[in-house]
Structure 1
């Protein structure tokens, strides 16, 4: 059985982040052979091209984690109809200097949850645009724009019964996407 290492990037820094809960619960739906490691992005300095020749230790650590991964999982809220600044900064830091992108060629999935009616639809579209430019192979279907509802998570942090079948289907498609696009 193959072992797949997945780098998880959560676009929220909030202590009680819904997207952090989603990332944790969702990864529990993956089959054996898949392991998930959250890539820390909270301590990244703001991207500055002047520092390309001498990147901060946090940037080197993040890029090493991305390079070591077989695939990527982005779990993010929507801020002002786009991706959070902390996530955009991570994408910029990981893609530079030119020709040394850690993202290129990686398969990825995008998902997110918010309290709004359209979930994270706009953020996901913006993220798809950026990832396309960075040569990341993003899973196209199924899309998942989740609105936070009572019971989405159980008290132990698992995906709740009412959302489990839908999110298990999403995870099964994600697993197949990673398997198809690695190696």
Structure 2
């Protein structure tokens, strides 16, 4: 017999975006692109692998230069910062002065390293790097678009590389992961648990 929702649930109006009424857990990445004679570094949290193959995507808007940079150059970089680097991600979201190039305003103050196969930058000391070739841009999510890429090259810091000889919880405890909790909080993840997959489960 189907049960109804209990009284301790509150219905949220969908006449406006619902996301500011509760917290969710998301990654926090920094997208690097070539912009004119310089570079752009933009934090994003609506980002995800696309299936089990080497594809990755993130939400953006044509109102941001990242969208137009990717559309023009057909490539972008992804940096996954560690918890100690959350301030760097915040700086990447700083309001721009239209009279100055972004590289002069923001990028020059960020610790960066050059990518290896595309013309973009990574945030130095992040734990995971990906260099992506544009796959497709899907417009039409109201004012936003989903940008997808094929991962051409990837690098992971040796401390974050999963190896069978090391206990996974010990590894995450020693080298925590950064999570963003929209609409405005973050967490350092250092305690995790084995997921209780059912017997016979396959990916």
Give the TM-score category using the shorter length: under 0.3
- Relative to total residues, which structure has the larger helix share, 1 or 2? 1
- Relative to total residues, which structure has the larger strand share, 1 or 2? 2
Q: Which has the larger radius of gyration?
A: 2
What is the TM-score normalised by the length of structure 2?
0.24
